Amino acid sequence: MLTALIVDDEYEIREGLRKRFPWSEFGIRQVLVADDGDIALQMALQHRPELIVTDVKMNRMSGLGFLRELQPFADYRPESIVISGYDDFELVKQALKIGVSDYILKPINMNELKDIVGKTAETIARRRAERLHEEQLYSQVRFAIPKMREELLREMFEKEYDSYWEIRRRHRLQSLDLEWMVKLPMLLLIIEADDMKAIGNRQAHDKELINFGIGNVVHQTLEEEFPYPFALSPDSLGRWVVMLACSRPEHGELAKGLAELCIQRINRFVKVHASAGMREAPGTIEQLHEMFDEASSVLEKKAAYGGNRLLTDQWPDEDAENKQPSLKDPDEALDLVRYGTDEDIAAAMDQFVDMVRSWKLVQLKDVQQGIFEWLYEIVRRAASAGVAGKMLSSNPIALWEQLEQYDTLQSLKEQVEHFLIELAAECRKFACGTSQIVTEAEKIIRRDYAEGLTLQSVASAVHVTPVWLSKLFKKEKRMTFLEYLTALRIEKAKEMLGDVSYKVYQISYQVGYKDPVHFSKLFKKHVGCTPKEFRKQQGIADE
């Protein structure tokens, strides 16, 4: 249905046109009227009539002035017909220049007006059809481009690189706004919901919704947190494959942080556990398939190490900040008896049965021998560390005879626990206090905070294992090693921000962060504002 607006300051002409002209023959069901340009302008913007018929000359705002007032509204382009007298022809020419469709002279001939309105109605219908066609094409393209991107990306990472297709692929990458993949190295990671097969077996619809939700969370997180080019596509198994531009070494740490953030948000918003597999070494577009295969293999580690986490091809069995002391590791076992409490030893002994079973020994004598050798290695290391005491390092036969009396794994476990607690009591007589170790670690952090410090490097400097430095640090400082290091760096940054001679990127480097973007986001997380905003709050002119 079309709407027309008649504008004329003469009541007879205005009402005569409204009542006597057969508007409905031309698909016009509503006819509005206005007696001057000011009122017409308000009505036109409110009702958006497709056709306007207006007198050229009127009191107050003229018809020409009224039509000119509509021109700034780019989303509203009505067809217009002007009515004029013979002496107004110069004004008609001006009207035609600003896009008026046609004109009719007074006195109005109804048959002539029918011809003009008929042609104008056809023009409106044709333009409507063209606009609808354009919108349909735009909609098709809008939905097609993401699919085309996904198909191309899937082809590239799931199939081995073929130089024969290189020119064709480069053209497609350019047309799909993915040309950066040819120019920049990239990191690849795969994100999937844990236990997806079980979810799919319950109800296929749930699986589709979860995959859709994960894709949305990952895309939004990258849009918000990753200021460099990236691409995202599902693979043939429904997992989400993320490719991140990696032009600088520190982008690797940023990518890890993003993967962990994605997992946290998937837990929160999609309500499922998820894991990410990542190859840490960046690669080129020619290595994309190789990177995809390696990330897929890394992702399978969750069967052994647990899911709902980031897994990489260069990571230890557990993150040292969070992992528990391992009985299997002689150094960690030694630190257990040197620095742990009796309760720590009892808790660690929960691993004993699994450790012994991992040796795959069947005969009783072999099991006893394995436990003896493991215990004696701990005693030997304790002696090398300066624990002289009365323990059985000087009399291994007594240790063997003690173990030989027990023939079940449970009873052997009880004897080992008792022995370790005794050894721990001896160690406490000779070892330095845990506070001293933490104090030394704290000195190193405060001295070298701007360097590439890690938990491992500081632990090595104070001669303990990373897991025990982490435990001792958390016990003494009520925060993790990383939390302490970050807090110190942020405080140093706040001090330096008071000196306007330092640029923000210079401060980032001098407090230990090689990526200024990452530094700014971390600063905002801890302080509540960006470094530049912090300066403004302190009354310091921005750099």
Note the pLDDT tens digit of each residue in 237-279. Answer: 999 999 999 988 778 888 988 999 999 999 999 999 999 999 8
Residues 6+ apart with CB under 8 A from 492: 449, 450, 510, 511
Q: Is the dihedral of CA 336, 338, 341, 345 positive or negative?
A: positive
Q: Which CATH superfamily is domain 159-312 in?
A: Reverse transcriptase/Diguanylate cyclase domain (3.30.70.270)
Burial of 291 (0-12, 13-18, 19+ CB in 10 A): buried
Reading the block at residue 194, the tokens are 């844990």
Place of tokens 């609808």: 132
CA angle in degrees (0–180, nearest 5) for 121-125-131 = 140
List, in sequence order, every beta strand (DSSP E) within 179-329.
186-193, 230-234, 240-245, 274-283, 310-312
Q: What is the mean pLDDT of residues 461-487?
A: 86
Note the pLDDT tens digit of each residue in 122-165. Answer: 988 888 888 887 777 666 555 667 888 889 999 999 988 887 77
CA distance 497 to 532: 8
Indicate if the pLDDT at residue 319 is higher than 70. no
Note the pLDDT tens digit of each residue in 516-539. Answer: 776 887 898 889 999 989 888 888
Query: Of the given ranges (12-16, 56-60, 150-154, 390-394), which has the lowest mean pLDDT?
Result: 390-394
Percent of the chain clearing pLDDT 70 (strictly above): 90
pTM score of the predicted model: 0.41
One-letter amino acid of 369: Q
Fold type of domain 434-537: Arc Repressor Mutant, subunit A (1.10.10)
Split at pLDDT 50, 70, 90, the class of 394 is low
Q: Which long-range contacts (CB under 8 A, 24 or more apart) does 263-267 make?
A: 263/191, 263/308, 263/309, 263/310, 265/217, 265/221, 266/191, 266/193, 266/213, 266/214, 266/217, 266/218, 267/308
- For residue 74, give Cα distances in angstroms to 42, 70, 144, 146, 205: 16, 9, 28, 29, 44
Q: How far out from the chain centre does Cα 89 lie?
A: 64
For the chain, domain boundaries: 2-129, 159-312, 330-423, 434-537
Within 13 Å of residue 106, how many CA atoms lie on the same side as its CB? 18
Helices (H) and strands (E) in the chain, counts: 25, 10
Residue 436, pLDDT score: 83
**Which DSSP symbol is given to 267?**
I
CA distance 151 to 479: 47
Query: Do residues 82 and 103 make contact, with C-beta atoms less than 8 angstroms apart?
Result: yes
Among 155, 189, 195, which Cα is nearest to 172's? 155
Fold type of domain 2-129: Rossmann fold (3.40.50)
Residue 302, pLDDT score: 75
* DSSP-based three-state secondary structure for 25: helix
CA distance 533 to 511: 18
CA distance 360 to 365: 13
Residue 488, pLDDT score: 92
Per the document, the length of the chain is 543
Residue 295, pLDDT score: 92
Among 217, 335, 343, which Cα is nearest to 270's? 217
Give backbone dihedrals phi and psi of 271, rounded to 5 degrees, phi first: 65, 35
